[in-house]
Structure 1
Amino acid sequence: MTQGPVRLDVSVGYALPRAGLPAPVSFRKWVAAALAGRIREADLAIRLVDAKEGRALNRHYRGRDYATNVLSFPADLPEGLPEGVRLPLLGDLVLCAPVIAREAREQGKPLASHYAHMTVHGTLHLLGWNHEDDVEAEAMEQLERGILAGLGIDDPYGTP
């Protein structure tokens, strides 16, 4: 793990009305918590979308014809960069606002807490974490619990 402050550039874009959605400063805080101790610098973009765009992206990139809460697009760094050249581009996250709002209601969670969880979850995907099997899922969930606890957010996998 790396130590010290993270140099972080988080660009947040809203493809729907911003009322009721977290501010960019919140997303930056959640990303920083997910990256703390893991990497020293990162650039990433977060786009908040409606269900139509979320569904179209999920269908195009994952072959699943429904809107999902978060999509992660890790940056593919070009091969053959000159020695010493570093690109801190981590990737992009797409958060589907209506899905996140519905899930928060159904799970009895504060909306901001669920946004924090989905942001942390997506950021960990950008770092290579996955949940393709039970062992990976448990490891990722434990990491998420710890990060969110550090932000004062209850266990997202516990009962409300």
Structure 2
Amino acid sequence: MTLVVDIQRESAEPAPDDEDLSRAVAAALAGRRDQAELCLRLVDEAESAALNHRYRGRSGPTNVLSFPCDAGLPDCHLLGDLVICAPLVAREARAQDKAVADHWAHLTIHGVLHLLGYDHVEDADADIMENEERAVLAGLGIADPYALPADTDTMSQ
């Protein structure tokens, strides 16, 4: 696979190194694309909120935004741009009691799948996309991010 990932770090929040981010991108593309180029921009909440408002009409930051490239060229390998809000990823991981690195991998894979045309607007499409995410994450040794945590209270009753 020929993969070019331009990683732009615009947030002071700690984030995975370039190798880990590129590994998640490559895992999402495996079996789907032989060649790809994309930009992965790691931003703060202000930039995420501004982009979310401008392009989605929604207020506040969001964890990942995907901007697919529609060059219309038959041999174009440019997928598009991903924007990930680093502080929000860390906060979500803590709130969901997930390893931060695993959440980064999940959101990177989620964004790449959006660049490839997957979406989750309709329930059936969400099921397809989530199953793809689960499979890619499992290949990286990462647990199902959609699994509900075990209810420990029911065990003691």
TM-score (norm. length: structure 2) = 0.92
Q: How far apart, CA to CA, are the structure 2 residues paired with 1:124 and 1:156?
A: 15
In the TM superposition, structure 1's runs of 4+ consecutive aligned residues that sit over 4 Å from their partners are none
Q: Deviations over 1:22-56 (max 9, x none)?
A: 01111110000000001110000000000000000
Query: How many pairs were matched up?
Result: 149
Kindly indicate whether residue 27 of structure 2 is the aligned counterpart of residue 33 of structure 1. Answer: yes
How far 1:159 sits from its partner (Å)? 2.6
For 2:110, the equivalent position in structure 1 comes to 121
For 2:122, the equivalent position in structure 1 comes to 133
1:16 paired residue among 11, 34, 39: 11
For 1:109, the equivalent position in structure 2 comes to 98
- Structure 2, unmatched stretches of 5+, are 150-157
1:69 paired residue among 59, 63, 66: 63
- Letter of the aligned partner of 2:4 in structure 1? D
How far 1:134 sits from its partner (Å)? 0.7
RMSD: 1.1
Kindly indicate whether residue 136 of structure 2 is the aligned counterpart of residue 143 of structure 1. Answer: no
- Structure 1, unmatched stretches of 5+, are 1-5
- Letter of the aligned partner of 1:64 in structure 2? R
Q: How far apart, CA to CA, are the structure 2 residues paired with 1:24 and 1:88?
A: 20
